[in-house]
Chain A
Amino acid sequence: MPGQALYRKYRPRTFSEVVGQEHVTRTLQNALAAGRVVHAYLFSGPRGTGKTSTARILAKAVNCLAEEGEKPCNDCSICRSVDEGRLLDLIEIDAASHTGVDDIRDLREKIHFAPSEARYKFYIIDEAHMLSTSAFNALLKTLEEPPAHAYFVLATTAPHKIPATILSRCQRFDFRPIPMKKIVGRLEWIAEQEGVEVEREALELIARQATGSMRDADSLLDQVASSSDKKITLLQVQNILGTTSSQAVADLVASLAAREVSRGLHLINETIADGADPKQFGQEIIEYLRGVLLIKVAGQNPPDVTPESAQDMALRAKQFSLPGLLTTIRLFSQATLDKAAFPPHLPLELAFVEATLPETEKTPKADKTRAKSRPGPRHAKERRETASPPPAEAKVDKRLPSRETKDPQALERIENLWEGLLTQIKKRNMHVEALLKSCQPVAVEEDVVVLGFYYPFHKGRIEEPRCKGLVEEVLSQAVGQPYHIECVLLADRERRRESPKKGNLQAVKEDPLIKAALEMGGEITEVKSPPPEP
């Protein structure tokens, strides 16, 4: 007989064996003792936390023939036949394969027959979230008032997909991810039962990988147990999981800090050639960088770190600048998000190169406009400028308020805040927000923000004391210092951005599409921006 998978062989058979769900098992046991078991339960929670197992245990407990003592006894004929999966009155429905309304109708027809062997009929509807809407609805009446001899347990990993009408008819229990320590404890016990020797560190690594799921942990232990006859070491587990030695991670971060691109690329390639999983590697780098960040910002050593690596981290914390460190972490987290990249190490290599590039060369991905305005082909540009006729001068915004912003940064700051301001104002007064949409800040002088309007109507409305007061109030709050506003009219609906400050025409010409158009014989006759959004 082939060995059964460990997670099936060691499926919990009593309430006390269910790991890490005391809040559920204790309640159920109390309900059993007091005879207050209700007719419908919903068990929800992440994979491998014991939903189906608990449901089966409950099925045994309500039907157990033992006169006294703890239920289930696991000894009577009922308990045994449940364990062997041959009790006729335990009906386990795979709702993911039997999703339709007909399957539920079938259930409804048969539920009225009395149980054949046990005292109660026990229905376990597993993966209940996959039932169709009509199937759920067909179940409603039965679930609310089933015959006296029937119990229901619905088990699901996605309780949000269960209709509220079903939820309200069930007692709901949420299973939680199992803490790492408890998983280790259970693994130790299983390993002992199986006669497999495993290093404690190896078990901890398995438990960490399992992220709260006992079944994942059991599967891994199963896999690891076949890897050799002798004692199973941390190294073997690392090999199977593709985790990296902490030394490789520390070395990589060191070359990151020292901006040694060549060494870093070598390291990435070699670590992965040695069998590390790129995604795991990336996550470990992030974990390490997080340690560095903690030391840098909070000045305290991260937990679960050996003193030696804490020392290393402190060293790196001095080498990195705070913004640099943050960008690096962000870059690597992006790299680990890439699911099926080929070649697999490419995302890490790119993240590494980008993190080591000097600040000026960085082009963040989100900032498309900056990315696109990369320096283009120079020779081509020069050629074109002599060849093509001089483009007609773009219209000049002569009547732009003579005021010039003395502090261009202040204007930029306000412009950045502008969107947020609008939403804030919208909450208080929709009309004012709508009016403000047809203007834009054009200049900032000390504590006065100049707003440019396209139509006198809007300008007039905003100048009303009530509106003006509101805008000034929100603006001052957002910037953190008192500001006044002043309204001016922009003639000819021209916007500040169009004013051909010399760079503008140049910028237009830099645009790749316009370049292509020029190359195909186009000419620039006028530079216009799109009309303001209505």
Chain B
Amino acid sequence: MWQVVGHEWAVTLFENSLAQGRLSHAYLFTGPPRIGKTTLALNLAQALNCTGKDKPCGECLSCQKTSQGIHPDVRMVDLAYQKGLLEGREGSTALGIDAIRSIQSDAALKPFEGRWKVFIIPQAENMTPEAANCLLKTLEEPPSHVVLLLTALHTDLLFPTIVSRCQVFNLRPPSTTLIREALGRRWDLEGERAHLIAALSAGRMGWAVEAAQNQALLRERNGRLDELLSLPGARRLERLSFAQRWGSQPERVKEILTLWLGWWRDLLLAKEGCWDKMENIDRKNTLLEEAEKHELGEIKEFISSIRETLHELESNVNLRLALEVLMLDLPSKR
């Protein structure tokens, strides 16, 4: 059973390749965050080494070891792995050349118990240029028992030389209907709540599962939305104090801004009457009221401002200053 939700076309392709023995030695999964890239990679790793009938069975020893992350032939080459390599020395936030060199020496060895040695490199865009170049030759012609699985947000973030050596699977967010069904089937979540979580996730299956298991996540979101709603009516002083409050927590701010982005996009859709595509379906009426209060150009402009701020967050900006500017850009209620 493939655990991954959506991506049927990719799964079908893998099933065919497994049946026909046409496996490639390198795969690259790209797509937005939390849509199931690493899950799919792990699933594929399971399928490769599965000893059961219906691969991946999820029940045989090999599958279980893989899902618990203790299979000796399935290696997750991420920052945690690098930290282990460096043995306590200060590691950076990028995947360095040492990690890749360790793959190379490791790949030369035969697998311990499985049929394949699988290396999964999640977020391959985090590799340093040296590391990426170092991977090239191994990625092109690895030993015959090695499969490399890479994930990345977008092919443009990797070197073209890396991309051209892999079979690229450009994954799309699974549809909200699929997510709703999956939530019902596997996490026993039905009715209103499943509907809402699916819509809010906008295809981020990982988020949906987290929200289904953690009640606090939705509560928090409601609080954040109320805050957001109060801001356009607030005086500038209050707005700036909001910026001050969040100015020291970059990680949280990113979440908040993503939430806002969803909300303002909904306003845009509400303004143009595209009800069925909205995310925040539990607040449809508020959305309609709010949409009345803003011009289309104004909404569009503020969405651009939010995205600009999100971009700036990536590039070591003074967070409080960025938030203050955003607050000043926030359109006011008419």
Contacts and interface: CB of A to CB of B under 8 A. Distances in A.
Interface of A: 1-5, 8, 46-48, 94, 96-97, 99, 126-127, 129-130, 157, 213, 215-216, 219-220, 222-223, 225-229, 239-242, 261-262, 265-266, 269, 272-273, 275, 277, 279, 339-344, 346, 349-350, 353-354, 357, 361-363, 365, 371-372, 374, 376-380, 512-513, 515-516, 519-520
A314 B272 CA distance: 28
B32 to A, nearest CB: 5
B161 A47 contact: yes
Contacts of A227: 9, 12-13, 16
Given A223-B13, A266-B274, A374-B301, A342 B236 contact: no
B74 to A, nearest CB: 17
B24 A265 contact: no
A513 B236 CA distance: 10
Interface in B141-172: 141, 144, 153-154, 156-157, 160-161, 163-170, 172
Contacts of A380: 235-236, 332
Interface string B294-334: 01111011011001000000000000000000001101111
A50 to B, nearest CB: 12
Given A222-B22, A277-B172, A353-B268, A376 B332 contact: yes
A220 B155 CA distance: 14
B130 A357 contact: no
Residue among B154, B164, B304 facing the most chain A CB atoms (10 A cut-off): B164
A294 B322 CA distance: 42
Contacts of A350: 300, 303-304
16 contacts: A2-B21, A2-B23, A3-B23, A96-B136, A219-B166, A222-B22, A222-B167, A226-B13, A262-B272, A339-B157, A342-B202, A361-B295, A363-B297, A374-B301, A377-B333, A513-B328
Contacts of A378: 332, 334
Interface string B232-258: 000111001000000000000000001
A376 B236 CA distance: 11
A410 B130 CA distance: 55
Residue in B24, B169, B258 whose Cβ sees the most chain A Cβ within 10 Å: B24
Nearest to B132: A96
Contacts of A220: 167
A349 B164 contact: no
Contacts of A513: 328
A265 B9 contact: no
Contacts of A361: 295-297
Contacts of A228: 16
B72 to A, nearest CB: 20
A261 B304 CA distance: 18
A279 B170 CA distance: 11
Nearest to A365: B304
Nearest to A351: B300
B130 to A, nearest CB: 7
B86 to A, nearest CB: 18
A346 B261 contact: yes
- Residues of B contacting A: mostly: helix
Given A8-B141, A376-B332, A266 B164 contact: no
Given A99-B130, A130-B133, A269-B274, A339 B156 contact: yes
A219 B169 CA distance: 11
Given A222-B167, A265-B274, A240 B9 contact: yes
Nearest to A218: B164
A94 B164 contact: no
Nearest to A99: B130
B160 A357 contact: no
B297 A96 contact: no
A219 B261 CA distance: 37
A129 B136 CA distance: 13
B296 A126 contact: no
Count chain A CB atoms within 10 A of each CB in B12, B138, B236 and give the residue with the most: B236
Contacts of B12: 227
Contacts of A344: 32, 172-173
B164 A215 contact: yes
Contacts of A99: 130, 134
Contacts of A225: 22
A350 B141 CA distance: 43
Given A1-B21, A516-B236, 9 more contacts: A3-B20, A47-B161, A94-B137, A127-B137, A220-B167, A239-B9, A343-B32, A343-B262, A512-B329
Contacts of B175: 273
Contacts of A365: 304
Contacts of B144: 1-2
B170 A512 contact: no
A374 B9 CA distance: 47
Contact of B32 (A1, A340, A374): A340
Contacts of B22: 2-3, 222, 225-226
A277 B168 CA distance: 13
B180 interface: no
B51 interface: no
Contacts of A213: 160, 164
B32 A219 contact: no
Contacts of B25: 4-5
> Which of A99, A340, A365, A379: most chain B CB closer than 10 A?
A340
Contact of A340 (B26, B136, B157, B163): B157
Contacts of A379: 332
A61 to B, nearest CB: 21
Given A262-B273, A361-B296, A371-B301, A216 B164 contact: yes
B277 interface: yes
A130 B100 CA distance: 15
B242 to A, nearest CB: 13
B117 interface: no
A216 B180 CA distance: 36
Q: Which 6 A-B pairs have the closest CB atoms?
A: A377-B332, A96-B133, A361-B297, A340-B153, A94-B137, A512-B328
Contact of A342 (B13, B137, B156, B258): B258
A4 B32 CA distance: 30
- Most chain B CB inside 10 Å of its own CB: which residue of A47, A96, A362: A96
Given A5-B24, A219-B24, A349-B265, A96 B17 contact: no
Contacts of B21: 1-3
B304 to A, nearest CB: 7
B240 A516 contact: yes
B300 A519 contact: no
Nearest to A130: B133
Contacts of A130: 130, 133-134
